[in-house]
Chains A and B, each alone.
Chain A
Amino acid sequence: MKLGALTMALKSLRHRPLANAINMLLLAVGIAIMTFVLSAARQLEDAALRDARGIDLVVGAPGSPLQLILSSIYHIDIPTGNIPLAAQATLEQNRLVRKVIPLALGDSYEGFRIVGTTHDYAAHYGGQLAEGRQYQTEMEAVLGAAVAARTRLRPGEEFVGSHGLAPGGETHEEAPYVVTGILQPTGTVLDRLVLTSVESVWHVHEIEHGITEDDAEGKAAMEEDRELTALLVQYASPLAAATLPRLISSQSGLQAAQPAFESAKLFRMLGAGVDVLRAIAAIILLAAALSMFAALYNALEERKTDLAILRTLGAPPGKLFRLLLAEGLLLAAGGAALGWLTGHLALELVGRVLADGRSLPISGFAVAPDEIWLAAVALAIGLAAAALPALRAYRTEIATTLSR
């Protein structure tokens, strides 16, 4: 191999493997945490914004507005309760409302939520059928892409929902669903849902209460009590924001929550955690910079003769300066690459654990352009750590060094 600043620097670093490896690891840990925190926060925020896009208001039972948003939009919390079916009709008649999508929740299949809704719901998220057809009659269901991939259910196959939103609930053996179609991936919450009609959800519920097709009286009583879990509302005009939430919340048994407001609140809470992690990463990076500086500086003492020899061989001082800088940069680049890979690997692992929990989508393969800043930070650390040793190398006094 031809000798150049980089090969020389590499060989020199390898000559003191322990100290340099430790410094590289220290830097890698800092960069890994930074990568992880930045990417996870960004992916979660992106997913949250995507899932809530176009939904101006969620109407549901009174309780925590954040819980209402989490349960009805992101499907990661239990609902606050149920609301009367009539609320839908009332809202649909309001001039300020463009679109109302009803949601009936309560059951799940292998941890994926079964959502009783209209075809508008899939359309809202741009869900297109990958195969099969939409659900039409009661007890037909369409699977989100992630559900189909995970459960390996095919169109025409049957499955039974279980009560509650976590796996292991009581199953509704008497009322199996049949899969009619599978949706293409959308990158939204839709991928992790089983869609069916609101009527199907009611049907399962009625059978559970021992009411059969023949029991006309019981059925009529049940029909009067039919309820929904929540309504997703899109405004027809920005004016709605001023009046509609207050109007709805004034009615007993109803609550209106604004996704934009609630998710902003959520991100502020998460943001504090993100800031703490970033501060920890910054401290580790600072420690890495100091440790690297100490290592390069101490190594310089041992290498003064080497550097003087290079000068006697005709190397100008600038060459020694660049050599030392190259060592710092190489160490930093190695640490940055290692940290970046570790950060993304950790993201992917966490993403898989979350996918097992039917939760938020996080991938280790999502690389944002702003991650280049991490590389820049690492290289800056390498340069800063190497600057003073490099300057000392530049000033190597050949005659005095050789005469010692």
Chain B
Amino acid sequence: MLQIHALSYRYPGARDAQLEVRDFSLESGRHAVLLGPSGSGKSTLLHLIAAILKPQQGRLIAAGTDLAALGPREADAWRGANVGFLPQKMALVPSLSARENILLAAYAPGKSQDRARADALLDALGIGDKASARPQQLSQGQQQRVALARALYHRPGLLLADEPTANLDDRACALAIELLVTQAAQAGASLVIATHDARVLAALPEAQVLRLSVPEASA
């Protein structure tokens, strides 16, 4: 599902690399935890895997595609079809209902919009009665579920989550991880979580772990 070799990334204008990964591979159906302190490039790696950033050096193969070879439009289309992305801020569009927020996953890459699919996802996540609610009418947890439903809409091979447990207490943290794992399993997706939270590791004993550190040059 994921093969990384000698990958490094440096932001334009920065002197030193933000991220260096020598070798990592993730088998299909298994989950990964990208663990590291802030500044270690977890989000950057997640953005690289999501084809939001383009690899500069090294190899990055995700869901069978060499991401370095994709042009900008191809990257957008690939991302729309293969990646479910959960950003750190569970940003839902405030002017749209929960259902419409999910359908954005179809609108964005220009694919046909399946309301039944959106409603089924909301049902599966236990918030079927909130389809018409606006984000501001939902609790934090409900908003996260809507964002998760949106990420799962296309049955992506990769479900990427950036710090999904930030600001959660232990109980909420365990529930959030369980939810992600269950949903990823049902969708047949590999879960990749970027975090600095050791509790995630504890909750996912089976996961493959990639430990990232702050690159030496900038340390």
B110 touches A312 (CB 8 A): no
- Hey, which chain A residues are within 8 Å of B88, CB to CB? 402
Chain A residues with CB under 8 Å of B162's CB are 402
Selected from B78, B89, B113, B150, the residue in CB contact (under 8 A) with A3 is B113
Write the chain B residue with the least CB distance to A312.
Answer: B85
B52 close to A305 (CB less than 8 A): no
Render A288-310 as a binary contact track against B, CB cut-off 8 A, 1 for contact.
00000000000000000110111
Q: Which residue of B lies closest to A404 (CB)?
A: B89
Out of B73, B87, B104, name the residue touching A402 (CB < 8 Å): B87
- Set A8, A12, A312, A316: member contacting B52, Cβ < 8 A: A312
Number of A-B contacts (CB under 8 A): 85
Stretch at the interface among B93-101, B120-128, B206-214: B93-101
A352 contacts the other chain (Cβ, under 8 Å)?
A: no
The reply to whether B100 and A309 form a contact with Cβ atoms under 8 Å apart is no
Contact with B along A315-334 (1 / 0, CB 8 A): 11101000000000000000
User: Nearest Cβ distance between residue B131 and chain A, in whole angstroms?
Assistant: 13
B50 touches A312 (CB 8 A): yes
Question: Is there contact, CB below 8 Å, between A309 and B104?
Answer: yes
Q: Is the interface of A mostly helix, strand, loop or mixed?
A: helix
**Does A12 contact B95, Cβ atoms closer than 8 Å?**
yes
Nearest neighbor of A398 in chain B, beta-carbon distance: B52
> A3-B113, A15-B94, A402-B88 known; A313 and B108 CB under 8 Å?
yes
Chain B residue nearest to A10 (CB atoms) is B95
In the complex, A237 Cα to B73 Cα: how many Å? 75
A119 contact set on B, CB distance < 8 A: none
CB distance from A116 to the nearest CB of B (A): 70
Nearest B-chain residue to A302, judged by Cβ: B94
Give Cα A306 to B78, complex, Å. Answer: 20
| Chain B CB within 8 A of A243 CB | no
Contacting pair A399 B53 (CB below 8 A):
yes
Provide the bound-state CA to CA distance between A316 and B105, in Å: 13
- Whether the pair B93, A314 counts as a contact (CB closer than 8 A) is no
- Are B53 and A309 in contact, with the CB atoms below 8 A? no
Chain B residue nearest in CB terms to A399: B47
Give the residues from 307 to 363 in chain A that come closer than 8 angstroms, CB to CB, to chain B: 308-317, 319
Q: Given A3-B104, A12-B95: A316 and B43 within 8 A (CB)?
A: no
A95 at the interface (CB under 8 A from B): no
Most buried by A among B43, B79, B94, B107: B107
Within 8 A of A (CB), among B8-28: none
Q: In the complex, are the beta carbons of A14 and B95 less than 8 A apart?
A: yes
Q: Which residues of B contact A319 (CB under 8 A)?
A: 108, 110
Task: Decide yes or no whether A152 CB sits under 8 A from chain B.
Answer: no
Contacts of B78 in A (CB 8 A): 314
| CB<8 Å pairs between A and B, sample of 21 | A306-B93, A306-B94, A308-B87, A308-B91, A309-B87, A309-B91, A309-B93, A309-B104, A310-B104, A311-B76, A314-B78, A314-B79, A314-B80, A314-B105, A319-B108, A399-B44, A399-B47, A399-B53, A402-B43, A402-B47, A402-B162
What 9 A-B pairs are tightest by C-beta distance, nearest first?
A314-B80, A15-B95, A314-B109, A313-B108, A315-B108, A3-B107, A312-B85, A11-B95, A305-B91
